[in-house]
Structures are given as structure tokens and as C-alpha cells.
Structure 1
């Protein structure tokens, strides 16, 4: 059985300690430092672009997880379920808007989306702006104040109609998957530019995706299929 390769060991010490090392060590370390600084200076613009890009990665991960939670929810005719679904929808649309809007140049322009996904984007932004970020009269929620008068008293009643997507809209899934792939493509494009600029390989840490990142059908899609089968 092959022996498992041990990970390389690194020794870290302050720059001030270099002067106490043997002279040949000092020369070697300082030469490496000078070479590294030269490479970093030459790639400064690309590194700044990479830094702006990675600012969006935590938001992308949050969006994928929120969508997973939202699409996994199962309908229940209760107030608690409606509020839970609304809470997850709020988290989804605000996180989506933060990812698209970016900051530090890390956003995604509407024009970068495929034509078939742009109407989906528009609806999410409208939902965020008119229903969740502001009470601005989104057509999915209405409130009616009713006033009755009897025996010299006014009786006030309130009725609310609140539209919901059970587990989120089905068209949100391809949009989220596209954005995830776009972030991956942008990352590797920047790594390739760094390689071309410096003549060195640039390795970004990676690993297997979490269990909840799956291409399996969403819960609401499965429910629709089950309902169709029962009706047939």
C-alpha cells in the first residue's frame, strides 16, 4: 500500500529575523522576495479584479443555500408556513439584489444574463423593491380597510391578500445556476489572465460542493409531478 504523502511544512518568521540567518540563506530569501514582489507588481491590476470578484463569493453561496431552503419547503395551510415562506423569499430577493448590485465592482449587469432569464431578473428586482424593501404597492399583496357602522359604533376590519410562490418560483432555479456558473467562469478567466501575465500558475482553493448543492429536482417540482400523477 502506497504511503500517504505528507503535506508540505511551512516555517513562518518575521522579516526582522532574516538578518540572523546564515548569509547564503539571507541572499536566497531576499532574492525570492524580490522576485515575488516583481510578479505581484506586474499583476497588480489583475489581482485587484480578482479581489473584487471574490467579494461576491459569500453572497453567491448564501443565495444558493437560501434557494435550496426555499425550494425544499413543503406547503402547509398554516399562518406559520406562510410567514416562513415569506421570510425565505425575503432573504432570497434581497440577497439576489445584493449579488447583482455588487459593490467594489463585483456585480452582474442585466446584459450579462441570457435573454430568457432577464424577465425573471426583472420580476425579482420589482418584488424586492416594491414588496420587501419598500411598501410600494406590489401587485402580489393588497390590504383593504373595511369600516362598518352599527349601534353608534364604528367597526374596523382589515383584509389582506398575499400572493406567494410555494418554495419560490420555478424559474429562479435556472437563474441561480447560471449565476453560479458565471462566477466560476469569471474566476478561471482571471486565473488565466494572471498566468498569461506572469508566466506562473495560479491555484485557487477548491473542493467538493456541499451536499445541498444538487441538480436534483426541487421539492416543488416533485410535488407538481405527484399532483399531476394523482389527477391522471
Structure 2
């Protein structure tokens, strides 16, 4: 089988076909009609694939943010606390964006293994109550204290902010599962397209970046337009 990387493609506008030799024109128009016929039979599956592909960049971002969090080194400084909080904000909002989907590419809670659903619930609660809204999440509290002495009022704020150093340990297996889920969904659609059209359907692939690797040797669809998971 011809190696995918050795293939070369020439792209030119359809308007240029009329300047080619007549037998070339007939051949190219025949290919066009054939391709259009195949695409029409697979239209529903291609729409699903298109929605899925839109989720790939979000999955890659989620994997990268989780890597950044997991590799952070604790420092007892306010700068570090705010940096960690910023990455956590990025993680929970990106997770919510991936789960919600937006254009039909989301992941329902029921699609998660039972052991990962409590992790999912905590992330969504963190996103909704701490980051998307000031809705009284248990991890952050504040209390206004007012003192009166010498004829004047002194105001002070007593606040506490809880956080996971480098993110919760449970976040990584959840991200790895989602990575694998996206990979399997992609290949399930490619198989359905093959069954429906009788043609091979391939998707660009390549080595995963270092930040997408883990102890389980998982790789990501980030190099393929989204995410690929453990092989």
C-alpha cells in the first residue's frame, strides 16, 4: 500500500479544467461526478464527523492545560497561587466547553465511566460556582471585619482560597478517557463511512507532542486536528 506521506496532490480551480486536453477533461469530470455521488450517500455521517472534528482543538487544549497544571512546582508566593488559579480556570472552562459541545459534539455525563462521574460533577460545580459566577463555592470564602477604635472604623477582609496544587489528581484519568473517547468516535465514523461508500477513509495522523504523552503511552489527536489516545 502506498505510504500516505509519499502522496502528492495538485490543486487547481475547476475553471482551469477547460484548458486541459479533452481526454483529461472527461476523466476529471467523471471523477468529480463519482466523488459527488459518494459524498451524497455519506452526507449524514460527514455531518457527524464535521461536528466531531470541531471538538478536537478543545480536546487538545484541555490535554495541554492539564499537563501544565500537573507539571507545576509549588511555590509559597501569591504569584504562584494566582498562576495556579489561572490554569485551573482555563482547565474547568475548557472542560465545560468540551462537554457542552455547542454544535452537537459534546459528551454526556452518562458517556463517562461511573468512577469518573463524581470528578465530572466537581469540575462542573467548580466552574459554575467559583469561576463562571460568584455563587458561594466551598473552596473560597470571604468575611468583612469592621473594628471601631479611637472614633474611627477599621475595615479588614478575612478571605480563604482553597486550591489543588497542579490540579486534582483525578483530572488526569478523566482527560485521558476523553482523549480516547474522541479517538474512538473518530474511527467509528471512518468505519461507518467505509461501510456506506465501499471506499477507504483516512485521517491525517502524526506523532503526539511531548506534553500529550503519559505513563500509559497515550498520544493525541492534536497532531491529527484534535486528539488521539492510547494505542
- TM surpasses 0.5: yes
Aligned residue pairs, count: 214
Match of 1:221 in 2: none
Match of 1:161 in 2: 160
Structure 2 gaps of 5+ residues are 217-231
1:41-82 CA-to-partner distances (Å, cap 9, x unmatched) read 111110000000000000000000000000111111111111
Question: Superposition pairs for residues 1-232 of structure 1, below 5 Å?
Answer: 7-216=6-215
Provide closer, same or farther for how the CA distance between residues 6 and 193 of structure 1 changes in structure 2, counting only shifts above 3 A: closer
In the alignment, the residues of structure 2 paired with residue 107 and residue 60 of structure 1 have an alpha-carbon distance, to the nearest angstrom, of 11
Q: CA deviation at 1:6?
A: 8.6
1:108-147 CA-to-partner distances (Å, cap 9, x unmatched) read 0000000000000000000000000000000000001000
Q: CA deviation at 1:103?
A: 1.2
In the alignment, the residues of structure 2 paired with residue 120 and residue 6 of structure 1 have an alpha-carbon distance, to the nearest angstrom, of 40
In the alignment, the residues of structure 2 paired with residue 130 and residue 86 of structure 1 have an alpha-carbon distance, to the nearest angstrom, of 14
Q: Which runs of 4+ in 1 moved over 4 A?
A: none
SS at match of 1:212: helix
Q: CA deviation at 1:8?
A: 3.6
Larger radius of gyration: 1
In the alignment, the residues of structure 2 paired with residue 90 and residue 47 of structure 1 have an alpha-carbon distance, to the nearest angstrom, of 34
Q: CA deviation at 1:214?
A: 2.0
Match of 2:228 in 1: none
* Root-mean-square deviation (Å): 1.6
Q: CA deviation at 1:7?
A: 3.2
Match of 1:230 in 2: none
Q: CA deviation at 1:156?
A: 0.2
Structure 1 gaps of 5+ residues are 218-232
